[in-house]
């Protein structure tokens, strides 16, 4: 039996190059067929291809691609033709009218791409980021209540407890005077602990510098490692269903890639930890309310509520245990990088704009004094300047700059204003063939001069203290948050945007009154990536050093 197994594995190993070659051939064939169907899309203005094989993709997904994205918006407008693989015409869209169709009206037609869905399945299982259609809607229906405003109010004490812990740690570090600290590291630590306790009811212990946590380390390295394997994602739809899961797992370990092995190890750790937390919660739920309230979060965390809701749901709507497990890792992954990126960006901007920082500090100090301490949910959301700083940062610098969709069948997209084709013709709507890739330009919409005015790209929190111009309200941007696309829109919008907003405001409400933030001599750049991340100029490891000085209280 062992000889047969070894013989089978040897045969597969020998055939692996052929399998990969066939996959590559199928990919090229599919691109050629699509090329003929997209002839009219080549009439839409756009940049010339950098190479025939990869078109503009290396520019679109370049970690330093800010200039390219800015140039195509300025040169070609809100609808741009982008070259993909082997002459594949793709559309980069920053026009709210077609985006309404893509995100809301025809969201069943414009779904996540196969490569993204298959990647998410490998990383997280069948969670909210990995499902489509009715399957996705059924999961979201169960998840919606735990992200409601009422539930957010219950989580306030947990969030403050963690944020006070961070505040105390940083105060100890600057007790003897100003110190240079890696603010990104601490924003990542606090974001992980917030989602750990508030989302899972489980402490990841990330604020304890003396402890290492395998789960936290696995989650933190997932995106950077996956980013080095971007090209391989194109082949996932062709190989992800070859044979049983055990065979695919065995075969992938044969690939001589350090990054693939790192990803396998990371997903193993994430899966093991999720199972430990899940079965501990399940046991507490079975024992009754008394056991639940003795857990971290006292049963108010998102997963505890979700598990209880799942038990009470109709049998048809319930998630199996495997999907509940997948939601756990999905939640941590989705909440960590985006929140830490947004918080880091706010603190960097405040360090560079001391007038804004002082004004925000004055508002927060006065509000905390009037409240006699920590602010409740409503009070936090009624602070106009804190709201303005958060909104303006998320508008000009969204953590996720673009989303990808694919047309699952032929359809038509209307345009807000006609565009002129390369042949001089007027185009007022675009026929989109099946399998055409769409890039949703979140940053392009959020900083469009036609919508926000000539100062659209400038960071001006004060713009939110007056009524927005009619051009903003008339644009009807199809987003779930404050006339922008930062958290997307429609049935696949960010379900946790209220969770993220509360995290950010509570952390800022404690840190800004406690510390002055100022720049160091090190130049900070931002890598685009799936989620924007700061690095010291010339470096590759995400990092954002700032000077912290204690605020002297009277």
Confidence (pLDDT) at 337: 85
Band of the pLDDT at 4, cuts 50, 70, 90? very low
H or E stretch at 553:
none
C-alpha to C-alpha distance for 91 and 41, rounded to whole angstroms: 8
pLDDT at 10 > cutoff 60: no
Q: What confidence tens digit (pLDDT) does each residue in 391-405 have?
A: 999 999 999 999 999
Average pLDDT over the chain reads 87
The pLDDT of residue 11: 54
| CA 463 – CA 469 distance, rounded (Å) | 10
What is the mean pLDDT of the segment spanning 20-25? 72
Would you place residue 504 in the very low, low, confident or very high pLDDT band (cuts 50, 70, 90)?
very high
How far apart, in whole angstroms, are the C-alpha atoms of residue 317 and residue 315? 5
Buried b (16+ CB within 10 A) or exposed e, 509-535: bbbbbbbbbbeeeeebebbbbbbbbbb
Domain for residue 80, yes or no?
no
Domains identified in the chain, total number: 1
Tell me the percentage of the chain whose pLDDT exceeds 70: 88
State phi, psi for 448 to the nearest 5 degrees. -70, 125
- Whether 81 is in a domain gets the answer no
Average pLDDT, stretch 232-248? Answer: 58
**From edge to edge, which strands make up the β-sheet containing 437-441?**
79-83, 89-93, 437-441, 402-407, 110-111
Give the pLDDT score at 230.
Answer: 59
**pLDDT surpassing 60 at residue 291:** no
For residue 157, is pLDDT > 80?
Answer: yes
- Picking from 33, 93, 96, 23, the residue whose alpha carbon sits closest to that of residue 434 is 33
Determine if residue 365 is left, alpha or beta; phi over 0 gives left, psi from -120 to 50 gives alpha, anything else beta.
Answer: alpha
DSSP-derived secondary structure for 362-425: HHHHHHHHHHTSS--HHHHHT-HHHHHHHHHHHHHS-SS-EEEEEESS-EEEEEEEEEE-TTS-
The pLDDT score that the predictor gives to residue 243 is 56
379 beta partners:
none
Region 191-198 average pLDDT: 89
Interatomic CA distance for residues 163 and 165, integer angstroms: 5
pLDDT at 1: 47
- CA 295/CA 301 separation, integer angstroms: 10
- For 201-230, the pLDDT digits (tens) are 888 778 988 777 777 777 777 766 766 665
CB atoms within 10 A of CB 134: 9
Say how far apart CA 278 and CA 374 lie, in whole Å: 32
The confidence band for 8, taking pLDDT boundaries of 50, 70 and 90, is very low
Pick from 15, 103, 41: nearest CA to 478: 103
Q: Is residue 476 part of a domain?
A: yes
Which pLDDT belongs to residue 222? 72
Residue 148 vs residues 101, 117, 140, 168, 486: alpha-carbon distances, Å: 26, 26, 12, 30, 19
Q: What are the C-alpha distances in Å from 104 to residues 109, 142, 474?
A: 10, 20, 17
Q: What is the DSSP letter of 48?
A: P
Continuous segment of H or E residues that includes residue 13: helix 2-37
Higher per-residue confidence, 251 vs 411: 411
* Band (515; pLDDT cuts 50, 70, 90): very high
Half-sphere exposure of 399 (CA within 13 A, CB side): 21
Residue 92: beta bridge partners? 80, 439
Measured distance CA(292)–CA(137) in Å, rounded? 28
pLDDT at res. 44:
97
Binned at pLDDT 50, 70 and 90, residue 240 comes out as low
Of these ranges, 113-122, 282-291, 345-354, the one predicted with the greatest mean pLDDT is 345-354
CB 450 within 8 A of CB 472: no
Across the range 42-69, mean pLDDT stands at: 93
CA distance 472 to 448: 10
Contacts of 49 (CB under 8 A, 6+ apart): 55, 56, 83, 87
Let me know how long the chain is.
554
**Element of type H or E holding 273:** helix 258-287
- Residue 526 in domain: no
Q: Give this prediction's pTM.
A: 0.89
Tell me: pLDDT of 195 over 70.
yes
* Residue 477 covered by a domain: yes
Tell whether the model's pLDDT for residue 256 goes beyond 60: yes
* Cβ atoms of residues 336 and 219 within 8 Å: yes
Measured from the Cβ of residue 60, the count of other Cβ atoms closer than 10 Å reads 23
Range with the poorest average pLDDT among 102-116, 255-269, 455-469: 255-269
Helix (H) or strand (E) holding 308: helix 302-312
How far apart, in Å, do the first and last CA atoms of the chain sit? 79
Q: DSSP of 434-499, one letter per residue?
A: TT-EEEEEHHHHHT-HHHH-TTTTS--GGGGGSPPPHHHHHH----SBTTB-TT--GGGS-TTHHH
Q: Is 444 a domain residue?
A: no
Looking at the predicted structure, is the pLDDT value of residue 272 above 90?
Answer: no
What is the layout of strands, in order, in the sheet containing 545-550? 179-182, 545-550, 515-518
Where does the pLDDT of residue 463 fall: very low under 50, low under 70, confident under 90, or very high at 90 and above?
A: very high
Range of the domain at 207: 125-397+459-514
Task: Find the CATH number of the domain harbouring 184.
Answer: 1.10.630.10
- Assigned domain for 61 exists: no
Residue 60: inside a domain: no
Q: Which pLDDT belongs to residue 235?
A: 58
Torsion angle (degrees, nearest 10) of CA 193, 194, 198, 204: 0
- For residues 41-45, average pLDDT: 96
Residue 8 vs residues 241, 248, 251: alpha-carbon distances, Å = 19, 14, 12
Residue that wins the pLDDT comparison between 302 and 102: 102
């Amino acid at each position: 039996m062992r000889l047969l197994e070894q013989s089978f594995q040897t045969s597969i190993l020998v055939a692996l190059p052929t399998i990969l070659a066939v996959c590559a051939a199928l990919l090229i064939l599919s691109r050629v067929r699509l090329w003929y169907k997209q002839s009219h899309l080549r009439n839409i203005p756009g940049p010339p291809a950098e190479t025939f094989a990869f078109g503009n993709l290396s520019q679109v997904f370049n970690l330093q691609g800010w200039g390219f994205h800015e140039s195509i918006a300025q040169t070609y407008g809100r609808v741009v033709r982008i070259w993909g693989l082997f002459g594949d015409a793709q559309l980069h869209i920053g026009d709210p009218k077609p985006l309404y169709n893509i995100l809301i009206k025809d969201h069943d037609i414009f779904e996540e791409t196969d490569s993204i869905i298959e990647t998410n399945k490998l990383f997280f299982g069948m969670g909210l980021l990995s499902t489509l259609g009715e399957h996705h809607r059924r999961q979201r229906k169960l998840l919606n209540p735990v992200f409601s405003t009422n539930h957010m109010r219950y989580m306030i004490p947990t969030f403050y407890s963690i944020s006070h812990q961070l505040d105390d740690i940083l105060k100890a570090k600057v007790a003897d005077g100003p110190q240079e600290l890696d603010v990104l590291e601490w924003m990542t630590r606090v974001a992980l602990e917030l989602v750990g306790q508030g989302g899972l009811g489980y402490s990841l212990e990330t604020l304890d510098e003396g402890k290492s946590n395998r789960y936290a380390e696995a989650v933190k390295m997932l995106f950077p490692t996956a980013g080095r394997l971007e090209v391989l994602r194109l082949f996932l739809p062709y190989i992800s269903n070859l044979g049983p899961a055990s065979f695919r797992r065995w075969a992938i370990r044969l690939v001589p890639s350090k990054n693939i092995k790192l990803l396998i190890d990371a997903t193993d750790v994430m899966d093991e930890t999720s199972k430990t937390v899940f079965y501990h919660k399940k046991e507490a739920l079975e024992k009754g309310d008394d056991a639940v309230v003795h857990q971290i979060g006292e049963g108010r965390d998102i997963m505890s509520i979700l598990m209880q809701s799942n038990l009470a749901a109709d049998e048809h709507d319930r998630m199996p245990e495997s999907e509940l497990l997948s939601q756990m890792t999905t939640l941590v992954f989705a909440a960590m990088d985006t929140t830490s990126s947004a918080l880091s960006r706010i603190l960097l901007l405040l360090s560079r704009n001391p007038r804004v920082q002082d004004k925000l500090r004055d508002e927060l100090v006065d509000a905390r004094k009037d409240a006699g301490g920590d602010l409740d949910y409503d009070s936090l959301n009624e602070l106009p300047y804190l709201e303005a700083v958060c909104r303006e940062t998320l508008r000009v610098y969204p953590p996720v700059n673009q989303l990808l969709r694919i047309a699952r069948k032929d359809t038509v997209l209307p345009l807000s204003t006609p565009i002129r084709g390369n042949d001089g013709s007027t185009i007022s709507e675009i026929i989109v063939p099946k399998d055409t890739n769409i890039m949703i330009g979140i940053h392009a919409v959020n900083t469009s001069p036609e919508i926000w005015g000539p100062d659209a790209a400038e960071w001006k929190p004060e713009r939110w203290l007056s009524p927005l111009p009619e051009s903003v309200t008339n644009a009807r941007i199809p987003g779930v948050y404050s006339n922008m696309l930062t958290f997307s829109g429609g049935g696949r919008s960010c379900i946790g945007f209220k969770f993220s907003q509360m995290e950010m405001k509570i952390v800022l409400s404690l840190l800004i009154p406690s510390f002055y933030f100022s720049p160091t001599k090190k130049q900070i750049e931002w890598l685009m990536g799936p989620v924007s991340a700061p690095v010291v100029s010339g470096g590759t490891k995400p990092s954002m050093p700032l000077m912290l000085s204690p605020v002297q209280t009277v």
